[in-house]
């Protein structure tokens, strides 16, 4: 291996994008980008600075006064302070849900990700618009998918492991409804980009998917 690359993992709900991306990042020693953490850091800053996060323009004006950074251990820094644990607070989470709805803030986060991934390599990110909006210049783009049935089964098992009462048929209906909504939304509908590699994990286990992506990444280094 010589040069690092950037990796974008896209795909429908329940495909295992986040868990796969995190494991790939560990194996390659890459930085895993969690856009949700960026929104939470912005929300935390708004709370600390007394900014009214119910007013979009007030939050937007605040952005010029803060600096957000990431490291390879999934830590996020706000003005040099590691706030990885602080942003897990419920109050911060609720504020983040609010600010994430604002077009100006969403644009800022997209530009933030574009900036750091254009400036350097060694980043991996997942999400339902990662390959064409958040990391359009990634050297490796993966569209991770699977049948609705297998994705629903995996999600049901995951919920059960977490102690949640789960009905497979209900989960399957939710997965199919989410698929339809993602594929037919007006803005940035879910689709496979021309340069993406499709990995159907229906007949693959977790380790096989991870190893496949790691192998594809190494071929491009």
Query: Measuring CA to CA, how many Å separate 19 from each of 5, 23, 24, 101, 200?
Result: 19, 6, 9, 25, 16
Q: Annotation-wise, does 17 bind a ligand?
A: yes
Q: Are the CB atoms for 109 and 56 separated by under 8 Å?
A: no
Q: Annotation-wise, does 16 bind a ligand?
A: yes
Q: Annotation-wise, does 136 bind a ligand?
A: no
Q: Annotation-wise, does 50 bind a ligand?
A: no
Pick from 23, 53, 22: nearest CA to 40: 53
Q: Annotation-wise, does 156 bind a ligand?
A: no
Q: Annotation-wise, does 163 bind a ligand?
A: no
DSSP per-residue letters across 108-147:
HHHHHHHHHHHH---EEEESTTIIIIISTT-SEEEEEE--
Q: Reduced to 3 states, what is the DSSP secondary structure of residue 82? A: strand
The dihedrals phi and psi of 167, each to the nearest 5 degrees, come to -110, 120
Q: Annotation-wise, does 146 bind a ligand?
A: no
Q: Pull the structure tokens for residue 55.
A: 């007013």
Q: Annotation-wise, does 36 bind a ligand?
A: no
The binding site for ATP consists of: 11-19
The binding site consists of: 11-19
């Amino acid at each position: 291996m010589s040069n690092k690359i950037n990796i974008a993992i896209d795909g429908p709900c329940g495909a295992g994008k986040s868990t796969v991306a995190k494991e790939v990042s560990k194996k390659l020693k890459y930085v895993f980008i969690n856009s949700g953490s960026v929104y939470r850091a912005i929300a935390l800053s708004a709370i600390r600075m007394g900014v009214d996060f119910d007013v979009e323009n007030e939050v937007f004006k605040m952005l010029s006064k803060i600096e957000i950074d990431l490291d390879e251990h999934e830590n996020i820094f706000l003005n040099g302070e590691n706030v990885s644990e602080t942003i897990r607070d419920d109050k911060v989470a609720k504020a983040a849900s609010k600010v994430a709805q604002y077009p100006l803030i969403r644009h800022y986060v997209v530009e933030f990700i574009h900036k750091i991934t254009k400036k350097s390599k060694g980043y991996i990110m997942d999400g339902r618009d990662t390959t064409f909006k958040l990391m359009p210049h990634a050297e490796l783009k993966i569209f991770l998918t699977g049948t609705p049935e297998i994705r629903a089964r995996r999600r049901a098992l995951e919920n059960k492991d977490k102690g949640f009462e789960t009905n497979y048929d209900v989960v399957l209906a939710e997965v199919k409804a989410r698929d339809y909504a993602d594929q037919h939304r007006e803005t940035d509908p879910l689709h496979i980009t021309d340069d993406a590699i499709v990995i159907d994990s229906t007949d693959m286990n977790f380790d096989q998917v991870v190893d496949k992506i790691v192998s594809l990444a190494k071929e491009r280094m």
